[in-house]
A = this chain, B = another copy of it.
Amino acid sequence: MAKHSERQQERHAIGADLIAVLVAAPNGNPVVLTIKDATALPSGPFELGHRSLQSGLRDWVEQQTGHPLGYIEQLYTFADRDRSGEDSSRRVISISYLGLTREEPSRATPPGSWRNWYEFFPWEDHRYGAPPVIVDVIEPALRRWADAAGHEEKRSKRWQRAAVCFGFDERGWNEELTLQRYELLYEAGLVEEAARTKEPAVQLVPGRAMDGDHRRILATGIARLRTKIKYRPVVFELMPPAFTLLQLQRAVEALAGVTVHKQNFRRLIEQQDLVEETGQMSSETGGRPAKLFRFRHAVLDELPVAGTK
Contact = CB atoms under 8 A, between A and B. Distances in A.
Contact of A45 (B2, B35, B47, B157): B2
A301 B165 CA distance: 11
B10 A12 contact: no
A70 to B, nearest CB: 20
A306 to B, nearest CB: 13
A1 B46 contact: no
Contact of A301 (B7, B52, B161, B174): B161
A80 B93 contact: no
Interface in A1-56: 1-2, 4, 7-8, 10-16, 35-36, 40, 43-48, 50-53
A4 B10 contact: no
B52 A1 contact: no
Given A12-B13, A14-B46, A53 B36 contact: no
A95 interface: yes
A304 interface: yes
A4 B160 contact: no
Interface residues of A, number: 52
A79 B14 CA distance: 14
A14 B53 CA distance: 13
A109 interface: no
A247 interface: no
A45 B80 contact: no
A135 B35 CA distance: 54
A136 interface: no
A77 interface: yes
A47 to B, nearest CB: 5
B40 A1 contact: yes
Contacts of A165: 303
A174 B304 contact: yes
B79 A13 contact: no
Contact of A53 (B79, B180, B302): B79
A172 B50 CA distance: 40
A45 B164 contact: no
Contacts of A44: 1-2
B74 A7 contact: no
Nearest to A96: B77
Interface of A: 1-2, 4, 7-8, 10-16, 35-36, 40, 43-48, 50-53, 74, 76-82, 88-91, 93, 95, 157, 160-161, 164-165, 174, 176-177, 180, 301-304
